[in-house]
Chains A and B, each alone.
Chain A
Amino acid sequence: MADCSSLEKMANTIRQDIITMLTNSCSGHPGGSLSSADILTVLYFHKMRINSKNPKWPDRDRFVMSKGHAAPVLYASLARAGFFDVSELLTLRKLGSILQGHPDYKLTPGVECSTGSLGQGLSIANGMALAGKLDKKDYRVYALIGDGESQEGQIWEAAMASAHYKLDNLCVIQDFNGLQIDGPVEEVMNVKPLPEKWRSFGFNVQEINGHDISEIISAFDKAEEEKGKPSIIIANTIKGKGVSFMEGQCKYHGTPPTKEEGDKCPVQPNHRFFVISTRLVFLTLV
């Protein structure tokens, strides 16, 4: 059985890391990082078969961050999972950093592919899943896509291929936070109805609360049991989740917190972090 309470604590640690990183970098995307923090926590600390000391282990499960602007949540998860030192997080977006503004396959241990140009990750995940079938390996491929990202035509071209090739080793998670940089997704370019769309494309569809750890775990388990077709988990989430003044605010799609906002320590009150200097270290007191 999963220990939901320790996963919840880890999700909060990751949220704090995100705020610390972005306050320090003075640029980046908090909203979609915070909305997917619980999903990544379940993947990296419960569900995925990975080895942080051997990031290229051939039998590992793969995670594709198709919504590449949510790089901070990926970097915080990888650091906390031991792929590199947590102190690296404070180099986000700085010259020479292993943590680029968007994920870079060459530079960051644990990053499975370079993303950032929206719409491309699901195609890459398809290739990984097809290669797994070809090699008769039992690894699973997870791809996180955005709801705004799903306005890209390539997503649906890839979705058609996932079902055509019966990629039951593929699980897509759609972070449905309802907001994109220019406003509500529904107003910018409506992507609904999503369950019907995915079903008609040949996917096994689940809809969950993307902030409920036990629901997330159970959805991943059900997806794994599905044979003969790919799975999608539509995760209903809140953009900026966990930081009161960011929740549901479009502005925080791509605006980092100011130093003042960051120092207010806005995440859950039973967790504190201290920025001792710009070079350093976070202490998380649970």
Chain B
Amino acid sequence: MMGTAAGFALSGKIVFASSFAIFATGRAWEQIRNSIASPNINVKIVGSHSGISVGEDGSSHQALEDIALMRVIPNMKIIVPADAIETEKAVFAAAEIQGPVYIRTSRPKTPVIFNENYEFHLGRGAVIRKGADITIIATGIMLNVALEAAVKLFNQKIDCRVVNMPTIKPIDREIIISSASETGAILTIEEHSIVGGLGSAVAEVLAEENRNAFFKGVGIPDKFGQSGTYEELFAFYGLTSENIMNEVLEILKKKRK
């Protein structure tokens, strides 16, 4: 499928090629690398059913590595939309950009966060909630969970900034650097392996730009997924507002020492 998409793109088309995220990025990785990304042609890969939220199908169908797989390929850009509106805007943005793009989508019904006036800009994060104590950087459907955690923490007088990071590559360095210096602590949250995804991308920027900021990456801890309901799996792997609250409190303890 990816090879044929390359042929279409080489004939002047803007191609959207879609499959489950694990197969789109995993099975066809080398075709993407050699036939699409190296010649830098207009194939937009849409990986659906990403992460553990695919649920009962289990590990074989749960892409926890797809962002990492796409991130190492030169010319590739990666967008992880947080809701239906952002997905729609991202698709149009991807069509406008020259070269390959990976868009990561999810299976379950996802709360709509943005309204029709929302503007998507490739490579830019956005502060969704202002705050001064710590910054939570979220991507994809974890944005909603991060916002829930921020509201609950506010009741405990903890002032969380929440940044939506829909583009993982190129990553918005400026928003990471400014958030690190203004809040002194960063927590990332993603429905992906802690290896190679949002957390790694943010950590790379912090390692170069701000080694004083406290950092914690939350995601799937270098393990395969398993069968279960979406809600059970999120609880099992700590992708809940309660767990984010605990992680935030842990970081703030260190920060205040």
Complexed CA–CA distance, A105 and B6 (Å)? 12
Those of B26-51 within 8 Å (CB) of chain A: 30-31, 34-35, 38-41
Q: Say yes or no for A135: interface residue by CB 8 A criterion.
A: yes
Q: Say yes or no for A126: interface residue by CB 8 A criterion.
A: yes
Judge whether B40 and A106 touch: CB under 8 Å.
Answer: yes
Judge whether A113 and B40 touch: CB under 8 Å.
Answer: no
Those of A127-175 within 8 Å (CB) of chain B: 127-132, 134-135, 154, 158, 161
- Chain B residues with CB under 8 A of A122: 3
Q: Say yes or no for B13: interface residue by CB 8 A criterion.
A: yes
Complexed CA–CA distance, A122 and B31 (Å)? 12
- Chain B residues with CB under 8 A of A135: 11
Closest residue of chain B to A165, judged by CB?
B4
Q: How far is the CB of B96 from chain A (nearest CB, A)?
A: 20
Residue among A115, A124, A158, A161 having the largest count of chain B Cβ atoms under 10 Å: A124
Q: Say yes or no for A125: interface residue by CB 8 A criterion.
A: yes
Complexed CA–CA distance, A105 and B1 (Å)? 19
Closest residue of chain A to B10, judged by CB?
A113
Q: Say yes or no for A20: interface residue by CB 8 A criterion.
A: no
- Chain A residues with CB under 8 A of B39: 104-106, 113-114
Those of B59-92 within 8 Å (CB) of chain A: none
Q: Which of A58, A121, A126, A158 contacts B12 (CB 8 A)?
A: A58
- Chain B residues with CB under 8 A of A134: 13
Judge whether A114 and B34 touch: CB under 8 Å.
Answer: yes
Judge whether B35 and A125 touch: CB under 8 Å.
Answer: no
Q: Say yes or no for A13: interface residue by CB 8 A criterion.
A: no
Complexed CA–CA distance, A286 and B13 (Å)? 44
Closest residue of chain A to B30, judged by CB?
A117
Main secondary structure of the interface of B (DSSP, over half): helix
- Chain B residues with CB under 8 A of A161: 4
Q: Say yes or no for B7: interface residue by CB 8 A criterion.
A: yes
Q: Which of B7, B11, B38, B41 contacts A123 (CB 8 A)?
A: B7
Looking at chain A, what size class is its interface with the partner chain? 20 to 34
- Chain B residues with CB under 8 A of A112: 10
Complexed CA–CA distance, A129 and B3 (Å)? 12
Q: Say yes or no for A183: interface residue by CB 8 A criterion.
A: no
Judge whether A123 and B6 touch: CB under 8 Å.
Answer: yes
Q: Say yes or no for B8: interface residue by CB 8 A criterion.
A: yes
Judge whether A124 and B3 touch: CB under 8 Å.
Answer: yes
Q: Say yes or no for A116: interface residue by CB 8 A criterion.
A: yes
Judge whether A130 and B4 touch: CB under 8 Å.
Answer: yes
- Chain A residues with CB under 8 A of B1: 123
Q: Say yes or no for B168: interface residue by CB 8 A criterion.
A: no
Q: Which of A104, A116, A130 contacts B7 (CB 8 A)?
A: A130
- Chain B residues with CB under 8 A of A127: 3-11
Instruction: Give 13 new A-B contacts, CB below 8 A, not counting A127-B6, A131-B12.
Output: A58-B12, A113-B6, A116-B34, A120-B3, A120-B34, A123-B35, A124-B7, A126-B3, A127-B5, A128-B8, A129-B7, A154-B3, A154-B31
Interface residues of A (CB under 8 A from B): 58, 104-106, 112-117, 120-132, 134-135, 154, 158, 161
